[in-house]
Structure 1
């Protein structure tokens, strides 16, 4: 993938290499009891959204049920007309949510940091993804769960835990829960590859939900510049031109200035505590796709 240089006002062509990987789930991985309980609570919230997705198609010549009011009107007309139009049948019409979302998890080495209560940042990310995924599966929304890390521009890893055409089941959950932290955080190539994966999907709304614990960092980045932040911004703009929008979620380790560069028009949230993520992520999703 190309990478943007704000200083040069141009791309470094074919600068970054992304390697897609399908990591195997670790043996014996299960959804922790407290995470399963949170997922059930979130699913109940998502369940309440489902009635809005169903309506009745009325005034049909044939269908799977009869509307009593329309039948009565038909009988009245039959006394006045020789052959009134049959239009008293109805059937359910499912109006699916026309969207696709890619949950993109930062799996860099810094997510191995302890946050207390025997949990690491990566654990919180994984648990939040599982909780949200349970709700998405209930709504029948199309979604994928992926992760990323990097070790220089020529070695950007992209992990596919659950693809769009795969069911959300125990295997998919185990894949997510088996994610492990490694190396650095080159966000731009991960966003571009996420856009590449979303672009063939025909949906009215396509969204990347990026969860990260801090600013982009990799071996060739100059910490005294915001080269990486401007590349992330450009990657978001490239995806937006294809109708794919990005929302970034980070911790207080990311400065407001950095987030405003990377995700303009306030398309980001900074959490005071990463442990809030499992509660915040489903609410954000509902707000963004409502």
Structure 2
């Protein structure tokens, strides 16, 4: 089959992925082990001196190093309502979102963070469609990337329902820190009066519920008019506006660095 992303997109994905790899947590070195990665010279000298002086030396002369574990689970929720088909700078918003999502998933996987990727759309209250492109327990792979590339815009944006679904999945992860990252291109809307104030208030309530469950929740929108409604859902400091959607892939590492203190 054809590659899910063209060569230009692959180059951009690699560039963003490298920025995430640079944020990979460091390593902790501990001493005084019976075996390990490298010999601790100071401990070896002390042991030799001990043997020479008293006939007794310690065999704990090894150092071990292990990666710092951020103990972080990240759930990424993407809005794939029909409005993402609209074009900006000659490209559909959904194309830019899919590329950004692939770069983000590869990058977080390289950071060692546990990550799930889901996309949602809706058709009234009783039909909320959630597509899982990556589960928490599966490594990032070409198959996951192909699923991300295949995400297709449909229907409407019942944002509160999408957030509640992703929040429940995140709550089941036994990590100390849990982050829900929501990427959307516009206001909540659906056919059954889920637009305007009602959609915004329901979405804001879903965000509050997720935060009460112990999740950090952060929204990213590529809607130029987002400053009028987005803060009402995610709160001050809980969101980022990316007014030029084509800048979304390069904005993500910077946003993530601030969120996790990398």
Query: TM-score, length-normalised on structure 2?
Result: 0.92
Pick aligned residue for 1:288 from 256, 259, 262: 259
| Counterpart contact for 1:188–1:232, Cα < 8 Å | yes
Show structure 1 runs of 5+ residues with no match: 1-26
C-alpha root-mean-square deviation of aligned residues, in Å?
1.8
Show structure 2 runs of 5+ residues with no match: none
In 2, Cα distance between the equivalents of 1:83 and 1:135? 50
The verdict on how the C-alpha distance between 1:72 and 1:222 changes in structure 2, with shifts beyond 3 A counting, is closer
Residue 193 in 1 paired to residue 165 in 2?
Answer: yes
In 2, Cα distance between the equivalents of 1:222 and 1:64? 58
| Counterpart contact for 2:23–2:257, Cα < 8 Å | no
Query: TM-score, length-normalised on structure 1?
Result: 0.84
In 1, Cα distance between the equivalents of 2:38 and 2:131? 48
- TM-superposed CA distance for 1:175, in Å, is 0.7
Q: Find the residue that maps to 1:226 and give its secondary structure.
A: helix
In 1, Cα distance between the equivalents of 2:215 and 2:207? 8
Residue 240 in 1 paired to residue 214 in 2?
Answer: no
User: Which deviates more from structure 2 when the two are superposed, residues 241-250 or residues 251-260?
Assistant: 251-260
**What count of residue pairs does the alignment treat as equivalent?**
261
In 1, Cα distance between the equivalents of 2:194 and 2:11? 44
The verdict on how the C-alpha distance between 1:254 and 1:158 changes in structure 2, with shifts beyond 3 A counting, is farther
- TM-superposed CA distance for 1:29, in Å, is 4.5
Paired residues for 1:139-154 under 5 Å: 139-154=111-126
- Of Structure 1 and Structure 2, which has the larger fraction of its residues in helix? 2
Q: Find the residue that maps to 2:9 and give its secondary structure.
A: helix
Which residue number corresponds to residue 38 of structure 2? Answer: 65
In 2, Cα distance between the equivalents of 1:44 and 1:114? 28
Q: Find the residue that maps to 1:153 and give its secondary structure.
A: coil
Pick aligned residue for 1:138 from 110, 113, 117: 110
| Counterpart contact for 1:55–1:93, Cα < 8 Å | yes
Residue 99 in 1 paired to residue 48 in 2?
Answer: no
Residue 53 in 1 paired to residue 26 in 2?
Answer: yes
- TM-superposed CA distance for 1:165, in Å, is 1.5
In 1, Cα distance between the equivalents of 2:220 and 2:96? 13
